[in-house]
């Protein structure tokens, strides 16, 4: 990874935790967005666990029994 | 009862994203699933207050967020002790490197104030508009925009991102993350 020396790191660390507004380029926003979606999709890709399918089915049936149609 | 079938399908369709959001809030897969279950039960019991034609997903997210916030105040300490099971619950990623990267990213997310974190996730991961996120969080659109901006800035600082190629696991980033 191409990085500059420790002096630049230090500047970054100084900024951290303060209210200094850092101008974010579109590439950084894109990278954060990509990481967010990757993290999120780890869970989304698991689909719908069976317990929720079963639970809604039972709720639906219970509602049927509660309503005289 | 085709309308009820539609409702049921819409609820099930929202479950994967609800779980991902819940995990980002509470950091624990088991608690997240309990939160989703409670959300669906509440939603079902209050279907009368859902307006057909409006966004079912946003309605469910609102319920989940409110449930979490009332529970969170009670269980704050417990939640912070229980974060270990999150990583274990995840399916494997394509390669070890992106797994490491995601681990670091998640740690960085945890360092954000809760309001900034949830705003960023709703807009940046759940795919809601700023308007929908404002509705879910019960605040102004401008507030969401400002929280998302601050969240991104803070993340970039925490992870020391100078450019897109400068993102990833390395000694200094890890030192920053571990130092808090």
Q: Residue range B123-139: average pLDDT?
A: 97
Distance, in Å, from the CA atom of A12 to the CA atom of A6, rounded to the nearest integer, reads: 10
Summarised one tens digit per residue, pLDDT across range B149-170 is 999 999 998 887 654 444 544 4
Closest C-alpha to B32, from B59, B74, B65, B7: B65
Proportion of chain B above pLDDT 70, given as a percent: 71
Sign of CA dihedral B33, B38, B40, B43: negative
**For residues A52 and A54, what is the distance between their CA atoms, to the nearest angstrom?**
5
Determine the distance in angstroms separating the CA of A44 from the nearest CA of chain B, rounded to an integer. Answer: 5
How far is B148 from B142, CA to CA, in rounded Å?
A: 10
Per-residue confidence of chain A (69 residues) as pLDDT tens digits? 444 444 444 344 344 444 445 567 788 888 899 999 999 999 999 999 999 999 999 998 888 777 644
Contacts of B37 in chain A (CB under 8 A): 51-52, 55
- Mean pLDDT for all residues in chain B: 81
CB B93 within 8 A of CB A46: no
State the nearest Cα–Cα gap between B76 and chain A, in angstroms: 23
Pairwise CB contact (< 8 Å): A27 & B164 = yes
- Best mutation site among B31, B123, B166 for testing chain A: the one with the most A CBs within 10 Å? B166
Please name the residue that has the structure tokens 């409110």. B66
Is the Cα dihedral A2, B103, B67, B60 positive or negative?
positive
pLDDT tier at B26, thresholds 50, 70, 90: confident
The yes/no answer to whether this complex scores an ipTM above 0.85 is no
């Amino acid at each position: 990874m191409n990085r500059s020396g420790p002096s630049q790191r230090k500047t970054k660390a100084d900024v951290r935790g303060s209210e200094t507004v850092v101008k974010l380029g579109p590439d950084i926003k894109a990278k954060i967005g990509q990481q967010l979606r990757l993290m999120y999709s780890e869970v989304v890709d698991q689909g719908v666990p069976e317990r929720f399918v079963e639970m809604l089915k039972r709720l639906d049936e219970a509602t049927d029994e509660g309503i005289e149609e | 009862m085709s309308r009820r079938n539609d409702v049921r399908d819409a609820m099930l369709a929202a479950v994967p994203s609800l779980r991902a959001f819940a995990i980002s809030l509470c950091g624990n897969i088991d608690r997240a699933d309990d939160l989703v279950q409670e959300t669906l039960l509440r939603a079902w019991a209050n279907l009368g207050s859902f307006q057909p034609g409006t966004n079912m997903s946003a309605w469910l997210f609102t319920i989940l967020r409110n449930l979490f916030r009332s529970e969170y105040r009670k269980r704050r300490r417990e939640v912070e002790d229980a974060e270990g099971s999150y990583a274990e619950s995840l399916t494997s990623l394509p390669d070890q490197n992106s797994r490491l990267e995601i681990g670091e990213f998640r740690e960085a997310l945890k360092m954000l104030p809760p309001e900034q974190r949830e705003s960023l996730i709703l807009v940046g991961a759940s795919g809601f508009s700023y308007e929908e996120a404002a509705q879910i969080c019960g605040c102004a659109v401008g507030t969401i925009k400002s929280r998302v901006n601050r969240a991104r800035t803070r993340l970039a600082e925490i992870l020391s991102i100078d450019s897109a190629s400068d993102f990833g696991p390395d000694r200094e980033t890890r030192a920053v993350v571990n130092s808090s």
